[in-house]
Structure formats: C-alpha cells, structure tokens
Amino acid sequence: MSSTVTYSVSGMTCGHCEKSVHEEVSALPGVLDVLADAKTGTVTVSSASPVDEEQLRAAVDEAGYELVGRTA
C-alpha cells in the first residue's frame, strides 16, 4: 500500500537545503519520491509503504535540518 505524507522541516532556506534533504530521504528503503520545499518548510515523501518516522528524522538530521513533524 503506497503512502504520501508531508512533514514540516526547520532550517531549510534554499535550493541547496532542498537538495540535501532530497538526497538523504531518497536513500531510505521504500521511498519512491521526495519533494523538499524550502519556501514552505516541508518535505513530502511518497513510499511503497509507510516510512519509519525515526529513520526519516535521522535522514533529515543527517542533511543538517530538523524534522518537526507531520503537517495537518
């Protein structure tokens, strides 16, 4: 069952930030697509099955930013 979830990320301010988050999150198992948007401070993750939020948090942290949580 595929899943698409949008999360808030703090600290992204530019295209380089978006690229860093995209690269780290894309490497997670099962992730099909990632859209990081510095303007809205979000990352949208499409995956084959729900992504483990702790793994996602670690990937965003590795990119140098903070996963705040799911958006409404």
Q: What is the CATH number of the domain that holds 18?
A: 3.30.70.100
Task: Say if residue 72's pLDDT is above 70.
Answer: no
What percentage of the chain's residues is helix, strand, coil (to nearest 5)?
30, 35, 35
Residue pair 66/11 in contact (Cβ under 8 Å)? The answer is: yes
- The model's pLDDT over 20-64, given as tens digits with 9 standing for 90+, comes to 999 999 999 999 999 999 999 999 999 999 999 999 999 999 999
What is the mean pLDDT of the segment spanning 12-26?
97
Count of other CB atoms within 10 angstroms of residue 38: 19
| Domains identified in the chain, total number | 1
- Going by pLDDT thresholds of 50, 70 and 90, the confidence category of residue 11 is very high
Task: Say if residue 70's pLDDT is above 70.
Answer: yes
Structure tokens given for 65: 């930013």
Provide the strand spans (E) within 1-72: 3-10, 31-37, 42-47, 66-70
Structural domain boundaries, residue 51:
3-70
What is the mean pLDDT of the segment spanning 1-14?
94
